[in-house]
Amino acid sequence: MPKPTKFRLVDTDPNITEDAAFGTTWRDTWKFQCPSHMEILLQKGDAFSLKAYDSADVEYVAPDALVQIEVRDPSEQKKINVYGPANYLSSSEWQDMAKMAKLRLNTPIEVRPRDFIVFMTKDSTGMDSASVANSYARLVTTKITEVEGGKL
C-alpha cells in the first residue's frame, strides 16, 4: 500500500540536473525527474524557497529577477505552472517556514514517475554555472512511495 510522507526536495537531490549554461532568459536552473518508485503530490500551501547568488557570491536582488516552478510530463510538452512567475525576493525566505513562499494551487497536482519538477529562474544579469553552484532551492511537499510488497 502506498505511503504518503513529508518530502524536502532540494537542489542536491541525485535526481536533479543543473543548467550550467549562461543565460539572461528563462532557464531550467534545476530539473528534478521523479524516480520510478515514487510520486509527489503538490498541494496548496507547500513551501518553497530559493536562494540565488551570482558567481561572486552576491545574492540577486534586482527587481527583474524572477522565479517560476513548472511540472512537466516526460516529453516536456505538457507543462503546468505551479508557482510564479514571482519576484525573486518574495521567494527567498529560507529559515522561517511560515514566511516561505507557498504554492498557490486550486487542486493538488500529481507528479508521476518520470515527470519533471522544474525550478526556473530569469535575471537580466544572467546566471552561469558558478551562479548555479552558489545557489540553492528547496520545496517542502508530500511524496508517495511504494512499500514492500505494494505498488504505487
- Position 146 scores a pLDDT of 66
Contact 51, 134 (CB under 8 A): no
For cell 500529481, the residue is 110
pLDDT by 10s per residue, the chain, length 152: 677 899 999 989 999 988 866 667 888 989 999 999 899 999 999 999 988 776 677 777 777 788 899 999 999 999 999 999 988 878 877 788 888 899 989 999 999 999 999 999 887 666 666 667 778 889 999 999 864 544 54
Q: Which residues pair with 93 in a beta bridge?
A: none
C-alpha 90/C-alpha 74 separation (Å) is: 29
CA distances from 106 to 17, 42, 43, 45, 83 (A): 28, 11, 8, 10, 12
C-alpha 30/C-alpha 4 separation (Å) is: 24
Residue 17: how many CB atoms within 10 A of its CB? 11
> CATH second-level architecture of 3-145?
Sandwich (2.60)
